[in-house]
């Protein structure tokens, strides 16, 4: 196992940025460490200075504003999965984060780690992709806001450079049934805990009078990053929200994705077929949630 030399727990964002700036690339942000520490163990990580952002009060808050959420970069999966606000106004995120790893991993792992780790299967990031999250990234040069879909360079490769910058917060519009907006998450895995998904799907949508106003569909792991079928999302505006239309949409999405075969998590043709099943189920579930009956 490789080892870091020093470990800092700054109490403010400014302090964290100062430390990164001071070590000029030899430092690195650590959140829960659930991905980073195993990378040290496997000799794949060699940063010398770790900057732990989980003690920074403002980064640990979930704030529900009038029509949006602001999630601190150090908020854990367990916080999101257990938040009544998130359940009420971003159900897809609650459903996704409760699927991550195990209770222990959810207690430690952070939502921003889920983004920076850049795994196309990351449940939290899939949900945030469907939520069209805007990610606030802070460095010594200041803050920039980037849509989550633009943060990926490849499998395991993020455009967020944790040696010089940190995800300070994540922002997205709340999902409010009163406005006919709804969301849902579906997942298929080898077992019911401690398992990466074979396929996961998150959807957010708005309907009016039995028709789609819009829908955002995020799918993993079928590409180098969480996948959004933008063309199909455009196509479905105005389509009826009945079973037949959803079947057609799901089929089209399935045709579009090009998952890889994995020796551990399923062949390409199976995953492609499961994309169809899960997209269909997620859309149905989200639509059902807009109805009067509880789903």
Enumerate binding residues for other proteins (CB under 8 A): 1, 3-7, 9, 30, 33-34, 37-38, 41, 50, 52, 54, 78, 101-105, 107-108, 188, 190-196, 198, 263-264, 266-267, 270, 273-274, 277
Nearest residue (CB) to other proteins, 173 versus 272: 272
Cβ at position 142, least distance to other proteins in Å:
29
Beta bridge partners of 142: 139
Peptide bond into 146 cis (omega under 30): no
Answer whether 217's CB lies under 8 Å from 130's CB: yes
The residue among 40 and 152 lying less far from other proteins, judged by its C-beta, is: 40
DSSP state of 262: B
Our CB check for other proteins shows the closer of 101 and 156 to be: 101
Whole-number Cα distances in Å, 2 to 15, 29, 162, 192, 248: 26, 16, 18, 32, 51
Local structure of 235: helix, strand or coil: helix
Pairing verdict, β 134-139 and 165-173:
antiparallel
Token output for 271: 């995953």
Under DSSP, the state recorded for 227 is B
* Residue 143 Cβ vs other proteins, minimum distance, rounded to whole Å: 26
Shortest distance, position 80 Cβ to other proteins, whole Å: 14
The nearest distance, CB 254 to other proteins, in angstroms, is 12
Beta carbon nearer to other proteins, 120 or 181 = 120
| Closest to other proteins by CB, 50 or 175 | 50
Nearer Cβ to other proteins (107/149): 107
- CA-to-CA distance for 4 and 165, rounded, in angstroms? 19
Which of 53, 70, 68, 44 minimizes the C-alpha distance to 16?
Answer: 53
Contact yes or no for 289/179 (Cβ under 8 A): no
Nearest distance from C-beta of residue 42 to other proteins, angstroms: 9
**Min separation Cβ 138 and other proteins, Å:** 22
């Amino acid at each position: 196992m490789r080892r870091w030399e020093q470990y800092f727990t700054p109490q403010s964002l400014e302090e964290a940025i100062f430390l990164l700036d001071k070590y000029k690339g030899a430092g690195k942000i650590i959140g829960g460490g659930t991905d980073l520490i195993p990378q040290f163990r496997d000799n794949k990580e060699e940063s010398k200075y770790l900057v732990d952002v989980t003690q920074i009060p403002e980064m640990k808050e979930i704030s529900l504003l009038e029509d949006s959420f602001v999630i601190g970069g150090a908020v854990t999966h367990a916080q999101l999965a257990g938040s009544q606000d998130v359940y009420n106004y971003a159900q897809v995120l609650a459903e996704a984060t409760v699927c991550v790893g195990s209770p222990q991993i959810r207690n430690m792992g952070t939502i921003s780690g889920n983004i920076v780790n850049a795994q196309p299967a990351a449940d939290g990031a899939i949900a945030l992709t469907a939520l069209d999250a805007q990610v606030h990234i802070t460095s010594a040069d200041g803050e920039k806001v980037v849509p989550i879909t633009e943060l990926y360079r490849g499998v395991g490769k993020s455009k967020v450079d944790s040696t010089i910058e940190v995800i300070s917060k994540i922002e997205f519009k709340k999902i409010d049934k009163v406005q006919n907006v709804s969301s849902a998450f579906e997942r298929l895995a080898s077992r019911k805990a401690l398992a990466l998904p074979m396929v996961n799907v998150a959807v957010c949508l708005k309907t009016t009078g039995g028709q789609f106003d819009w829908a955002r569909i995020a799918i993993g792991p079928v590409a180098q990053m969480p996948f959004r079928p933008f063309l199909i999302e455009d196509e479905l505006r105005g389509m009826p929200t009945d079973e037949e239309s959803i079947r057609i949409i799901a089929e089209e999405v399935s045709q579009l994705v090009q998952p890889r075969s994995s020796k551990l998590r399923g062949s390409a043709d199976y995953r492609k077929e499961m994309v169809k099943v899960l997209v269909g189920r997620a859309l149905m579930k989200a639509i059902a949630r807009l109805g009067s009956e509880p789903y």
